[in-house]
Chain A
């Protein structure tokens, strides 16, 4: 029964991810006085892409063709670790948050290799940029997550979330810092606006788009889907770690349905904030990104320090 719900939750993750992307696009269009496409547009795009014939360069090796499948499945596996509608699931109890970061790193490794594989200038440039950014984003993210794990004294996400949930409303200075660090890292890692622009193919600025420039057809669909999934994963992490109220603690139909409604509400709200931020902020120069990420690292470190200094038991 538990395994069934765990699988169901992963499927929900995969199915809902394009909807979140569509909703963000919709909010952005409204804010920029444009006519918004339907929220279901990403599904139509994915459907269209799967029906197109993929074109692969003659120089491409086997890696280029296998990479989309590896990336997609690694991201789906990462999604199984994160509690979406219920805590205490067998999949999220068997792997902890460091495994999730590992899955992300694994997917990113293959994405960068695939960018390099084809031998175009843009692919290599995108891969090098992506690796630079992630090498600075990963420590900041781990710092923010360690703050949580030190508070809950476990690295397991589902136990940590139920710890936060059972504690009731406690205002922790360290969580304020960890939340802001995690938000900054999420923006950098999912390639949103101050760091990377998901809607452009301007060669000077693109990072994620540069790596996947050569992909087409179902390969492109899988990679797009994986990046939408990653965006949703970060959203769920932020929503469920810091505002876990409403997540189901038992497996009754009512609790699960309520949990689903609450997480959809939280994600929709987060998406509105993201859209507002993307409308207000201009994309920063590539060489400013390290300042942005070292600020995120500083915030993570401060979260850890204030956990030790301000909240420690004496």
Chain B
């Protein structure tokens, strides 16, 4: 089936999937924290657009509420909180030297291929669009994990965690044509609680090792090596 024969909603969903995948790659290669947070907010904005699009074309009104929640939480509140943290720690001028950036990017690309490979069997039971959207969201999840492994700053870890959540959210919207309202509210509050908890963790890490670089946590061994 060619793309010209699909309806406009499906084409838009495919474009959104491609753009969400791109933002994940951008985050993976990003050394500056403020820019990382900005790209994260962009990803949240793409999710908002996708949700609003689904709400409009499926005529499903409670998805609008979900879109507004995404906008408020993932585009405004969490990026604002992380940004404030970065500015307060005076880390906005640092460039994190990413160890073997090329290898990480290549790893990201192979993760994307891997997720296509894993999800390929489902193409028999569902549409092509579903395969693409699900493969992109699985690779967003995996790229988020890779982001958490490859970066050293705690804030980058939080961004990676939140982008894993973004990938799951995208899959949920595309695959189920909108989850029940209760589930979405639950997820939104989970994210909110996670954000608050991370704020507290930042505070504790900072008071104990005076930095947000998690490699320094190795100092906390009870026994000197």
Contacts and interface: CB of A to CB of B under 8 A. Distances in A.
Contacts of A167: 4
Q: By DSSP majority rule, is chain B's interface helix, strand, loop, or mixed?
A: helix
B11 A171 contact: yes
A90 B83 CA distance: 57
A171 B15 contact: yes
Contact of A176 (B3, B15, B132): B15
Nearest to A177: B18
Contacts of A177: 18, 22
B18 A314 contact: no
Interface in A170-193: 170-174, 176-177
B1 to A, nearest CB: 6
Q: By DSSP majority rule, is chain A's interface helix, strand, loop, or mixed?
A: helix
A306 B18 contact: yes
A314 B19 contact: no
A176 B3 CA distance: 14
Interface in B166-203: none
A203 interface: no
Contacts of A306: 18
B18 A176 contact: yes
B56 interface: no
B125 interface: no
B18 A170 contact: no
A172 B132 CA distance: 14
Interface residues on A, range: 10 to 19
Contacts of A20: none
Contact of A310 (B4, B12, B14): B14
Contact of B11 (A172, A302, A309, A313): A172
A176 B22 CA distance: 11
A173 B15 contact: yes
Given A170-B11, A171-B11, A310-B132, A302 B1 contact: no
Nearest to B11: A171
B19 A176 contact: yes
Interface in A284-314: 302, 306, 309-311, 313-314
Interface of A: 167, 169-174, 176-177, 302, 306, 309-311, 313-314
Interface of B: 1-4, 8, 11-12, 14-15, 17-19, 22, 116, 123, 128, 132
